[in-house]
């Protein structure tokens, strides 16, 4: 029996990282082939080379901001990850804990995808309170939308050059209770606590944005979600 114990222990030790990799809690929201599970304007959204692509041109513009909406239900506390590549002179975003207020139109929190500091991964409240937390800020939002900047994010100098224009970038959104954190390429962009009960949202839908205006192209892949315990 003593001779068998060591191999068993070794086998168990080897199995742990394999199981952890398979059960890390994240699920894929995009199958890499088509827009199953998503709903948006088919004239603007498509799948190209294994990525979700939203694109506008002078001949095929968007009539205002429009969204590709994930149809998996409302989100509460979660961590969201994706890779994105933005092309053109416009911007995009990841909309979350939002409400549908029209055909493919969302209102609520947005992780803004717009190159250069202090815009990249700032917090924008679409159709509501506007720019409520710029990149590099630690903010507590009080009642009646009173913004209180309490500090700056870690690695502020690295954050200023963290985004890679025209390349694939990683976006992370963590929403737990009334605290929201955005990251760009592993660096914290915003840390926001929303105490404004009249303006905040603790649940809502997820969407990807095409911004109205100048022609643009936004690509998303490796779109993943993990539900977090309520806080």
Beta-carbon count within 10 A of 168 CB: 15
Buried b (16+ CB within 10 A) or exposed e, 75-107: bbbbbbbbbbbbebebbbbbbbbbbeeeebbbb
pLDDT of residue 73: 95
pLDDT in single tens digits along all 231 residues of the chain: 444 443 333 333 333 333 333 348 999 999 999 999 999 999 999 999 999 999 999 999 999 999 999 999 999 999 999 999 999 889 999 999 999 999 999 999 999 999 999 999 999 999 999 999 999 999 999 999 999 999 999 999 999 999 999 999 999 999 999 999 999 999 999 999 999 999 999 999 999 999 999 999 999 999 999 999 987
DSSP state of 75: B
Residue 151 Cα to chain centre, angstroms: 23
Contacts of 115 (CB under 8 A, 6+ apart): 86, 91, 163, 165
Alpha-carbon gap, residue 111 to 120, rounded angstroms: 8
pLDDT of residue 192: 98
């Amino acid at each position: 029996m003593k001779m068998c114990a060591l191999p068993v222990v070794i086998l168990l030790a080897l199995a742990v990282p394999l199981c952890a990799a398979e059960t890390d809690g994240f699920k894929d929201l995009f199958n890499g082939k088509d827009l199953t599970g998503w709903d948006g304007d088919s004239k603007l959204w498509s799948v190209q080379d294994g990525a979700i692509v939203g694109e506008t041109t002078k001949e095929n513009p968007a009539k205002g901001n429009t969204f590709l909406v994930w149809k998996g239900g409302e989100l509460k506390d979660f961590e969201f990850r994706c890779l994105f590549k933005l092309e053109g002179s416009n911007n995009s975003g990841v909309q979350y804990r939002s409400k549908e207020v029209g055909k493919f139109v969302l209102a609520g929190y947005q992780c803004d995808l717009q190159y250069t500091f202090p815009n990249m991964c700032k917090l924008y409240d679409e159709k509501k309170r506007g720019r409520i937390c710029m990149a590099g800020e630690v903010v507590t939002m009080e009642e009646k939308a009173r913004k209180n900047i309490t500090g700056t994010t870690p690695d502020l100098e690295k954050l200023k050059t963290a985004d890679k224009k025209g390349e694939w970038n990683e976006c992370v959104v963590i929403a737990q209770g009334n605290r929201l954190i955005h990251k760009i390429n592993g660096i914290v962009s915003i840390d926001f606590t929303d105490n404004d009960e009249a303006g905040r949202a603790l649940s809502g839908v997820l969407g990807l944005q095409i911004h109205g205006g100048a022609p643009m192209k936004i690509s998303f892949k490796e779109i993943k979600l993990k539900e977090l315990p309520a806080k």
